[in-house]
Amino acid sequence: MKNLIYIVVLLYAFTFSQNRVAPEFSASGQWFNSEAISLDSLKGKVVMIEIWTFGCYNCYRSIPTLRDFYSTYKSQGFEIIGVHSPEFDYEKDAKNVQEALTKHQVSWPVFQDNEFITWRAYGNRVWPSFYLIDKNGVIRYTHQGEISETFPRGIVALEQKIQDLLAETQ
């Protein structure tokens, strides 16, 4: 019975998060690799919102895949915005976030969501989570969990959806 309830909750969260206008960013901390960006300013692009924290093993193991996506699709109108939502107090420190971004060669814009404002606005539940937003600002696809060589199924689905949404912008 517990498993059934868990599945229903996950399905509800998954359904709730797709096909709705993406909530605007609400940074409760510093921006890195960019000046502050609004979601509205990204209309016309395909945007991946990556909710993560640097202390999360599954999060940092996903970074190489994100680097590949970014280098492959950025010139085609794709953007990643990292939403750093800390699990522990040491992850709230901007200096520690900057060190992690440098160490893991994260070049896309990232902002601190220390108060979990953006996390809650997206109805997020886990690290890492990925939300693909179309050119009109609508969430069209979500993926929760690591995307890496260890967990490649998520990579294939995300990349296909990125390609599909980019094709819509042509």
Please state the domain extents for the chain. Answer: 2-169
Query: What pTM did the predictor assign?
Result: 0.89
pLDDT at 8: 52
DSSP the chain: -HHHHHHHHHHHHHHHHSSSBPPPP--BS-EESSS---SGGGTTSEEEEEEE-TT-HHHHHHHHHHHHHHHHHGGGTEEEEEEE--SSGGGG-HHHHHHHHHHTT--S-EEEBTT-HHHHHTT--SSSEEEEE-TTSBEEEEEES--SSSSTHHHHHHHHHHHHHHHHH-
Name the β-bridge partners of 131: 49, 142
Instruction: Please state, in angstroms and rounded to a whole number, the distance separating the CA atoms of residues 69 and 54.
Output: 19
| Strand partners for 130 | 50, 143
Q: What is the pLDDT of residue 4?
A: 56
- The pLDDT tens digits of the residues spanning 12-70 come to 444 445 789 999 999 999 999 999 999 999 999 999 999 999 999 999 999 999 999 99
CATH 1.20.58.100 fits 2-169, yes or no: no
Condensed to tens digits (0 to 9), the pLDDT of residues 88-123 reads: 999 999 999 999 999 999 999 999 999 999 999 999
Residue closest to 42 by CA, chosen among 150, 136, 148: 136
**Is the confidence at residue 1, as pLDDT, over 80?**
no
pLDDT score recorded for residue 145: 96
